[in-house]
Chains A and B, each alone.
Chain A
Amino acid sequence: MAQLPVALHISEDTESDGQEPSPCNEGAMHTSFRQLIQEQSSLVEAAAGAELEMPARDREPPEPQQDDEHAGYSSATLRILASMPSRTIGRSRGAIISQYCNRTARLRRRSSRPPLQQLSHAARPSLRQHHLDTDPAAATLEEKRSLLVKELLSLSPGQRSHMLLSVPLSLAEKRTLRQELSGQRGSPREDTQRGAPFSPCGRSKYHIILGCRGLWYGLLSLLPAVQPWHHALKQIGSRFGSSVLSYFLFLKTLLGFNVFLFLLLLVFVVALQAAYPPAPASHQPFTGLELLTGAGYFTRSLLYYGYYSNVTLNEPCAARPNCSAAAPPLPYNMPLAYVFTVGVSFFLTCILLVYSMSRSFGESYRVGGPVGDLAIKVFCAWDFKVVRKRWVKLQSENIRTQLKELLAERQSRSHPRSPCRQLEHVAVRLLAWGLSLGTVLGCVVAVHYFSEHMHAVQQDAGSRASGERRQEAVLLVLPLVVSLINAAMPHLYNLLATWEKWDSPVLEVYVAICRNLVLKMVVLGLLCYQWLSRKVVCSSEACWETCVGQDLYRFVVMDFIFTLLDTIFGELVWRLVLEKRLKRKQRPEFDIARNVLELIYGQTLTWLGVLFSPLLPAVQIVKLLLLFYIKKTSLMQNCQSPSKPWQASRMSTVFITLLCFPSFLGAAIFLSYTIWSVKPSETCGPFQGMETIYESGKTWVRLLEKSNPNITWFTWVHQYLLENTFFLFFVSGVLLAVIYFNIQVVKGQRRIIRLLKEQIANEGEDKIFLIQKLHSVYEQRERRS
């Protein structure tokens, strides 16, 4: 900055090194004025293009040649402008201190009305300290500091430390404040110490508290080391930014849910059944194919529903003829445990999901609405985590492209299209949507007929008694086809999107997600119908639950294999093709939306299969762990960060919502229907021979009632709250009322924001008017003198 404009020279004097811009500092002002006059004369000679920071610049001065003279005349105005509260608040220490002094005072006096003399606004230092009449004895830095200390002393210690944490001052300044605080508090502390017990009891308690606190801080500092993948996530975030990081954070969340589900099932169901195995049937030899098909050796194992016994384990000796007296009499009712564990784990997962969804929503939702995205993009787009030069350059290019796109969108919005083009646009959109929905329908019908065909083939092969391995290998084909559809259709939808030419890239992403989601959910819906109705699938099996569990296992494994293949072909091979054949410098982009939808699909399969295969969450855990490392390696080697704009926190909210609503809700409905209405098989599993799975619960309640007549309230609760639908309607009604109330509150807040904005605009006009008046007054004074 070789040529300092006039205004800047003033601000250089009043930088944040503690010198005050207030008119009281006589000496400083005069020297700066002298400097001003020197500068002014040199400027007039040099005829430089002075950059006035006054609003005079945007009101066009009548004769532009008089710019330099304007600079000279309005130096005093410029001085006053530079000391305006709204400008000093960003710069000088004193202003910050007095602002926080006000905030503390307001915190303390929250209930009472502020006196009329207090003219403080949200961001301006209190005007009562700058008397506007004559040369004021305005507060120096020390006085302001002592005022702040006095205010801070009147707060509670928790509020005080919070206030100190949030003050934007340097460390040295905060240390001085803290010293003054403890100095002032020193005298009252001595009083309390004199009153406090000097007994060894009190002293040792004090030391214990200090020791505990030290231990706690030590543990907190170890926390980053304990968190899984902390270093890997940091690496990914520093190179690709927070958009790609959101995918890996979502993976981590899913892993958390699965670990929780697995632990519950392990402790209450699997471990106990493993400790008391039922009568062993003939085991088939273990071949490698079982890992893929889930059948064979695994059929009568802990993996599936059919293994679990329907009796009370470890019953006391009196009930059974031959038992070992050594076993401790802790009877464990396996069917009850099975259904309760599954039900309770689903309920807790639901609560966790709703909680994380609401927290994510609260962080990302803003009342003002989506206006102002250009300013937000410019101020918040730069990700300071990105470190290397090449990635910084990439980020700059991305930001530039996004800014250009946003500007082009604004342009096109301000010039509306001709009706002919609009019609064409609408027709193209309708056609694209029709095509995508048509393909979904086509895929669903194809899957239906294909599965019928496959099971006919399998029964054929079974009746012809060809090898069992061949039979089971045939069963792999349906999951293969479904995974193929799920992998290929998104690419088709991407092609459609490029043909459609969306204006807004954000909308394009949402539409792509929507189409993929519809495809996956409809296919899953068809498969669920087939499993539950058992007209096509598993119709000949005696133990149909194990059959369905095996099917789901196969789907999960196939999904993993296809994700692997997709990563290899979509990223590795494509990058090699781009580099070697087409000789382009660009690498393939990491498609976040498609990958997240694949994760959601896999998780839905796991949730659908928990009832039929209690160890399925363990399989999913292994799959997610492997997926993390594979995706991370492929990302680092082959991909570049996406060029489309990606609001990471809003998309995280969308993903968690998608996980909750179609995915978890569908699985919960499937589970509820299975428990309430489907007849379990006769010969295997914990619910053999009952009408529905729910009946085991009802039987238990009746048993409880008979054995202990004091807990009839429990059955009353069960009968009137759970079985009666009136309660459910009542709860939904209350929920709807709460939602309506919140919507009204948000509407009211929006209205208030609009009114406040108008008020601020009016104040701004007042300010400009006053500045103009000031400018003319000084001009007249100069002309007169």
Chain B
Amino acid sequence: ELLPEEEKENARSVRIPKSRILTLPELRANPFQHRICRVFSTSEDGDDSMSFEDFLDMLSVFSDSATSEIKSHYAFRIFDFDDDGTLDKKDLENLVNCLTGQSEESRLNSAEMEQLIQNILEESDIDKDGTINLSEFQHVISRSPDFASSFKIVL
């Protein structure tokens, strides 16, 4: 339903702009919608448009049959807000704000945020460099058996 009628014939090659992707009911209210579009889009212009194959990629990662390793890999890329390959304090802060809601009164205050990030880094940063890289992230994820069932989008 995302494509207009006349483009349905060459659906394989068409790229859909991000605004249309975000009208999908599964992504509409998701706080990570922009990151999801950014991670799965392979467009060279950086406008986060997705082709059919990108869409398939996204669905396959979020499906039941993707392995936990693939899911954690893509979850890491989604949570890495500045795309630098690690989760540093700014990334974690963005992540927590996305989780608790964007409005002012639903955010944690700065003391709690500080304490939370400190605790997270204590628990998951094994090599103590102040950031969480992919292996450390996957190590944390492997300890939670619920991850595979919550990182799922069912169409």
**Which A residues lie at the B interface, using CB under 8 A?**
1, 5, 7-8, 11-12, 15, 17, 51, 53, 55, 57-58, 82, 86-91, 122-123, 165-168, 170-172, 234, 237-238, 241-242, 363-364, 366, 368, 371-372, 374-376, 378-385, 387-389, 392-393, 396-397, 399-400, 403-404, 407, 410-411, 647-650, 757, 760-761, 763-765, 767-768
Contact A379 B62, beta carbon cutoff 8 Å: no
A400 & B108 in contact (Cβ 8 Å cutoff):
yes
Chain B residues with CB under 8 Å of chain A are 25-26, 28-32, 42, 44, 53-54, 56-57, 60, 62, 67, 69-70, 73-77, 79-80, 82-86, 88, 90, 92, 95-96, 99-101, 106, 108, 112, 115-116, 119-120, 123-124, 126-131, 133-135, 137, 140-147, 149-154
A sample of 8 more A-B contacts (CB under 8 A), given A55-B130, A379-B144, A761-B128, is A53-B131, A55-B129, A89-B134, A90-B80, A384-B62, A389-B29, A403-B96, A650-B145
> Are the CB atoms of B119 and A168 closer together than 8 Å?
no
> In the complex, A371→B147 CA distance in Å?
16
CB-contact partner of B129 in A397, A648, A767, under 8 A = A767
Q: Which residue of B lies closest to A51 (CB)?
A: B90
Q: List 5 A-B contacts (CB under 8 A).
A: A88-B85, A380-B151, A392-B31, A403-B96, A764-B126
Q: Which residues of B contact A396 (CB under 8 A)?
A: 31, 99-101, 106
Identify which of B31, B106, B131, B143 contacts A397 (C-beta below 8 A). B106
Asked if B143 and A368 make an inter-chain contact with CB atoms under 8 angstroms apart, the answer reads yes
| Listed residue (B32, B119, B141) with the most chain A CB atoms within 10 angstroms of its CB | B119
A744 CA to B122 CA in the complex, in Å?
A: 28
| Contact (Cβ within 8 A) B100 A380 | no
Say whether chain A's binding surface is mostly helix, strand, loop, or mixed: helix
**Please, which residue of chain A has its CB at the minimum distance from the CB of B69?**
A166
B135 A166 Cβ-Cβ under 8 A:
no
Closest 7 CB pairs of A and B: A764-B127, A87-B85, A396-B101, A123-B135, A168-B73, A372-B123, A400-B100
**Chain B residue at minimum C-beta to C-beta distance from A372:** B123
A764 & B154 in contact (Cβ 8 Å cutoff): no
From B108, B141, B149, name the one whose CB has the most chain A CB atoms within 10 angstroms.
B149
- In the complex, A397 Cα to B143 Cα: how many Å? 24
Residues on B with C-beta less than 8 A from A166 are 67, 69-70
A385/B25 contact (C-beta < 8 A), A90-B85, A363-B145 known: no
**Residue among B62, B80, B84 with the highest chain A CB neighbour number at 10 A:** B84
A31 and B68 alpha carbons, distance in the complex (Å) = 38
Chain B residues within an 8 Å CB radius of A378: 92, 95-96, 99, 116, 120
* Chain A residue at minimum C-beta to C-beta distance from B128: A764
A11 touches B85 (CB 8 A): yes
Q: Chain A residues near B101: list those with CB within 8 A.
A: 393, 396-397, 400
Q: Collect the chain B residues with CB atoms within 8 Å of residue A12's CB.
A: 83
Q: B5: shortest Cβ distance to chain A, in Å?
A: 26
A383–B32 alpha-carbon span in the complex (Å): 11
User: Is the beta-carbon distance between B53 and A380 smaller than 8 angstroms?
Assistant: no
**B88, B133, B144: the one within 8 Å of A53 (CB):** B88
Chain B residues whose C-beta falls within 8 Å of the C-beta of A768 in the assembled complex: 128-129
Q: Which residues of B contact A366 (CB under 8 A)?
A: 142-145
- CA–CA, A168 and B72, complex, Å: 10
- On chain B, the residues within 8 Å of A11 by CB distance are 82-85
Residue of B nearest to A243 (CB): B146
User: Is the beta-carbon distance between B44 and A376 smaller than 8 angstroms?
Assistant: no
Q: Min CB distance, B69 to chain A, in Å?
A: 6
Closest to A369 in B: B143
* Least CB distance, A100 to chain B, in whole angstroms: 11
| Smallest CB separation, B54 vs chain A (Å) | 7
Which residues on the A side are within 8 Å of B31 (C-beta)? 382, 392, 396
State how many angstroms separate the Cβ of A403 from the closest Cβ of chain B.
7
Measured in the bound complex, the distance between the Cα atoms of B92 and A234 in whole Å is 31
Partner of A376, one of B29, B100, B140, B154: B140
B73 to chain A, nearest CB (A): 4
Q: Are A90 and B42 in contact (CB under 8 A)?
A: no
When distances are taken between beta carbons in the complex, the residues of chain A under 8 Å from B149 are: 242, 648-649
Assembled-state Cα–Cα distance A181/B83 (Å): 31
B150 touches A242 (CB 8 A): yes
Does B154 lie within 8 Å of A238, measured CB to CB?
A: yes
Q: How near does chain B come to A472, taking the closest CB pair, in angstroms?
A: 48
* Complex contacts, B145 vs chain A, CB 8 Å: 363-364, 366, 649-650
Q: Whole-angstrom distance between the alpha carbons of A760 and B119 in the complex?
A: 19
Q: Do A760 and B99 contact each other (CB < 8 Å), given the known contacts A7-B84, A86-B135, A171-B53?
A: no
Residues in A neighbouring B67, C-beta threshold 8 A = 165-166
CB-defined contacts of A89 to chain B, threshold 8 Å = 85, 133-135
Cβ–Cβ contact B70 & A407, under 8 A? no
A55 to B121, CA, bound (A): 14
Contact among A51, A86, A234, A372 with B124 in the assembled complex (CB-CB below 8 Å): A372
> In the bound complex, what is the Cα–Cα distance between A389 and B147 (angstroms)?
22
Contact between chains at A404 and B112 (CB < 8 Å): yes
Centre residue among B74, B128, B137 by max chain A CB count within 10 A: B128
Minimal Cβ-Cβ distance residue in B for A367: B143
Distance (whole angstroms) from the CB of B46 to the closest CB of chain A? 9
CA of A200 to CA of B32, assembled, Å: 57
Q: Given contacts A384-B150, A384-B151, is CB(A379)–CB(B79) below 8 Å?
A: yes
In the complex the two chains form, what is the Cα distance from A764 to B123 in whole Å? 15
Q: Are A385 and B153 in contact (CB under 8 A)?
A: yes
Closest A-chain residue to B39, C-beta based? A16
Please report the C-alpha to C-alpha distance between residue A647 and residue B145 in the assembled complex, in whole angstroms: 9
Residues of B within 8 A of A88 (CB): 85
Bound form: Cα–Cα A648–B150 in Å? 10
- Known A171-B57, A381-B99, A397-B106; contact A648-B146, beta-carbon cutoff 8 A: yes
A142 nearest CB across to chain B (Å): 18
- Distance (Å) between the CB of A241 and the closest chain B CB? 8
Is A384 within 8 A of B84, CB to CB? no
* Chain A residues whose CB sits within 8 angstroms of the CB of B152 once the complex forms: 384-385
- How many whole Å from B153's CB to the nearest CB in chain A? 5
What separation, in Å, do the CA atoms of A375 and B95 have in the docked complex?
12
Q: Is the beta-carbon distance between A388 and B29 smaller than 8 angstroms? A: yes
- A58 B130 Cβ-Cβ under 8 A: yes
- Closest residue of B by beta carbon distance from A123: B135
B99 and A172 contact, CB distance less than 8 A: no
Which residues from chain B contact A241 at a C-beta distance below 8 Å? 150
B53 surroundings in chain A (CB, below 8 A):
170-172
Contact among B56, B140, B151 with A372 in the assembled complex (CB-CB below 8 Å): B140
- Measured in the bound complex, the distance between the Cα atoms of B82 and A385 in whole Å is 25
Contacts of B112 in A (CB 8 A): 403-404, 407
B44 and A17 within 8 A (CB): yes
Count chain A CB atoms within 10 A of each CB in B26, B86, B144 and give the residue with the most.
B144
- Measured CB to CB, the closest approach of chain B to A217, in angstroms, equals 13
Contacts of B147 in A (CB 8 A): 379-380
Rounded to whole angstroms, the CA-CA distance of A1 and B38 in the bound complex is 13
Docked CA distance A166–B146 (Å): 19
The CA of A209 and the CA of B20, in the complex, are separated in Å by 43
B100 A87 Cβ-Cβ under 8 A? no
Most B CB within 10 A of own CB, among A12, A237, A372, A375: A375
Give the chain A neighbours of B133 by CB distance below 8 A: 86-87, 89-90, 123
Q: Are A757 and B126 in contact (CB under 8 A)?
A: yes
Please name all residues of chain B whose beta carbon is closer than 8 Å to the beta carbon of A170 when the two chains form the complex.
Answer: 42, 53-54, 57
* B77 cross-chain contacts in A, Cβ below 8 A: 90-91
Determine the chain A residues whose CB is within 8 A of the CB of B60 once the complex forms: 171
Asked if B99 contacts A17 (CB within 8 A), the reply is: no
Given contacts A11-B85, A407-B116, contact A765 B128 (CB under 8 A): yes
Residues of chain B contacted by A763 (CB below 8 angstroms):
127
Q: Which residues of A contact B85 (CB under 8 A)?
A: 11, 82, 86-91
Q: Which residues of A contact B126 (CB under 8 A)?
A: 757, 760-761, 764
A399 contact from B29, B92, B100, B128, Cβ within 8 A: B100
Given A166-B70, A168-B69, A168-B70 in contact, is the A374-B154 Cβ separation under 8 Å? no
Which of B26, B56, B95, B126 has most chain A Cβ within 10 Å? B126
A761 to B90, CA, bound (A): 22
